[in-house]
Structure 1
C-alpha cells in the first residue's frame, strides 16, 4: 500500500491534495475507495483502513520556493515539458519523500525533475492507480522457458528434473497521456506436468543438475508413471511496480500470471535382459551388437 501526497502549485494559488493507494483501491482526501469485485467500479469504503507503506510522497513544481516565489536562476534551466504523448504541454515537477508518521521528518529529494502531462494533475495518479492492474495483466510478459533433464526423452518411473528460466522484465506504456514505466518480477511458479499432476504455485524455479546426478529427486522434479508424450506447462506469477513520468516506483496491487509455451517430454520404458553369450567370443550371440535382429 502506498500513499501519495501531491502538492499542486501555481504562482497564484496553492492546493494540497492527499491521495492514497490501497491493495484494493485508493483514497482521496478523507474518503477511502475500493474496487467492487462484482462491478470493477470504485466505491466508497468504510473508514479506518490503515496505510502500511513506510513512506509518503509529494511532487512540487520545479524551481518552486513556496507560496508564489520561484528560484529565478533555476527557471532559466527548468526542464521543458513540450510535445507530450498527446501533443500537449506539461508541468515540470520534482518528487520528494519522507517517512510517514515520524514527527519532524523532513522531505528529501526522491527523483526528477520530470514532466506531468495532464489538464487535471490533481486526480491523474488516482486514475492511473485504478487502472494499473488491468494494464499489468495485459502486458506481453514472457513467462520464461521450461528446461528438462533429461530431454526430450526420459524414463518412466525416473525423476525428471524440471526448472524454469525466467527473468525480470520492464515495459514502457502510455496511460492517460503519461509515460508509465512498469517492472515485472517473477516470484512464484506453477508446474503442470501434463499427466494430471500440478505443483505450485511455489517460490522455487528449480535449477540445473550435472549430468552425473540426473535422476535425483529435486524440488521441481517429477516421475511419470506411464509412457507417452506429455505437454509440460510452466505458469509464472509476477509482481510489479510502476512509476509515472520517472516518479517513485509504486507497488502494483495483485499479481499477473503468464504461461510459457508447452514443452513436449517423451516418456519411454527401459528393458533389462540377461544373456549368457560372451560377445567377444561370439559376436553373433544373442544380445550382442553384431547379432542379427
Structure 2
C-alpha cells in the first residue's frame, strides 16, 4: 500500500507538469537551473539565450527522486522515497536528485551530483531564481568573522618605525533558511583593507600579512605601517569574502560580488624613543631615572 501511494503521488507529479499553476514549464526530465540569468537592465531573472556562457564549468538540473525518464520510476527506489513534509504554508515539497553535465554541451550525458533532497515550492522552476535574487543581501547579514588583528610590537610600538600588522581570517560555513529552504553558505576571505587610525589606509589587497620573529620587528612588510606621531590609534581591518551557496543539498553556486566585514578595532599605543645617559646605580637606587623600578617617562 505504501508503494502504491508513492507511485501514485510521483506519477501524478509527472502527469501534471504542464500545469502552470503547479509546476509551470517544468519538464518530466528535470528543471534546468542554467536556463536562467540575471538581466541588469530589466532588474529580474530571464531565461538564457542559446549559447549563454557561464563561469561555472558545469550545468545542473534536478529530477524527481526515483525518476528514470519517459515518465517511469524505479520501483525499488520508491520504497525508500524521501518524504518532503511541512514546507511553506504547510504544503509538501517534492523529492529531487541533482544532476550535472559539462556546460555548453548540447544534449549532454547527465551524471549524479547530489541528493536526494527536498524542494519546497508550488513552482520549483521559480524558486532558485528567487533565492538567487536574495542571496547577496542575505550573505552580507551573516555573522562572518573578519579575522583577528595582531600588531608587532604590541600593545606599544614606536613612532617612526614599521609596525607589522597581520590578519588571521578563515573560511566559514553557515546553514540558513531562505524562503523556507535549507541554504548552505561557504565564505572564503580574499581581500583585506587596513585603516590604521591615523588617516591612512592600505588596500584592498590579497595579502593578509603574517607574523615576524621578534628579532625582525621593525622590518617593512606588505601590511606594515609607520606612525609619524604618538598617541593611541584604533586599527580597523575590513575583510572581503567570496561566497557560494547551495539550496537543499544542490550544487554550489557563486554568490555575486563580495561581502565586506569589519574586525573588532585594535588599539595601538605609539610611543617615542628617547636616548639618555644616567649616572644612578640601580642596585643602590632602584627608583633612579632609567632603572627598571623607576616610574615610566612620558612618551
Shorter-chain TM-score tier: 0.7 to 0.9
- After superposition, give the CA deviation of every residue in 1:231-255 in whole Å (9 maximum; x if it has no partner): 1000000010000001110000111
Whole-Å separation in 1 of the counterparts to 2:14 and 2:45:
35
Query: Going by fraction, where is helix more abundant, 1 or 2?
Result: 2
Whole-Å separation in 2 of the counterparts to 1:46 and 1:122:
14
- After superposition, give the CA deviation of every residue in 1:89-137 in whole Å (9 maximum; x if it has no partner): 2111111101123466421100111110111101111111111111111
Alignment gaps of 5+ in structure 2: 1-11, 18-25
Q: Which of the numbers 91, 97, 101 marks the counterpart of 2:100?
A: 97
Give 4+ residue runs of structure 1 displaced > 6 Å after superposition. Answer: 43-48, 280-284, 290-293
Contact 1:11 1:69 in 2 (8 A): no
| 2:39 pairs with 1:34 | yes
1:53-64 correspondence to structure 2 within 5 Å = 53-64=56-67
Whole-Å separation in 2 of the counterparts to 1:290 and 1:189:
40
Whole-Å separation in 2 of the counterparts to 1:236 and 1:115:
34
Whole-Å separation in 2 of the counterparts to 1:151 and 1:41:
49
Query: Going by fraction, where is strand more abundant, 1 or 2?
Result: 1
Aligned-residue RMSD, C-alpha? 2.9
| 2:291 pairs with 1:289 | yes
- After superposition, give the CA deviation of every residue in 1:259-292 in whole Å (9 maximum; x if it has no partner): 11211100000110235x48499879x8563999
Q: Which moved more, 1:166-175 or 1:148-157?
A: 166-175
Q: Which of the numbers 241, 244, 267 marks the counterpart of 1:241?
A: 244
Give the corresponding residue for 2:15: 12
Structure 1 residues 172, 280: closer, same or farther in 2, change over 3 A? closer
Structure 1 residues 63, 267: closer, same or farther in 2, change over 3 A? same
| 2:210 pairs with 1:207 | yes
Alignment gaps of 5+ in structure 1: 1-8, 28-32
TM-score, normalising length from structure 1? 0.83
Give the corresponding residue for 2:9: none
Q: Which moved more, 1:146-155 or 1:102-111?
A: 102-111
Whole-Å separation in 2 of the counterparts to 1:94 and 1:288:
75
Structure 1 residues 185, 78: closer, same or farther in 2, change over 3 A? same
The count of aligned residue pairs is 272
- After superposition, give the CA deviation of every residue in 1:174-213 in whole Å (9 maximum; x if it has no partner): 1112111111111100000011110000011111111121
Whole-Å separation in 2 of the counterparts to 1:264 and 1:290:
25
Give the corresponding residue for 2:7: none
1:1-293 correspondence to structure 2 within 5 Å = 10-13=13-16, 15-16=26-27, 17-20=31-34, 26-27=36-37, 33-35=38-40, 41-42=43-44, 50-84=53-87, 87-102=90-105, 105-275=108-278, 277=279, 279=281, 289=291
What's the offset of the Cα at 1:13?
5.0
Q: Which moved more, 1:237-246 or 1:48-57?
A: 48-57
Whole-Å separation in 1 of the counterparts to 2:189 and 2:249:
22
Q: Secondary structure at the match of 1:10?
A: helix
Whole-Å separation in 2 of the counterparts to 1:274 and 1:231:
34
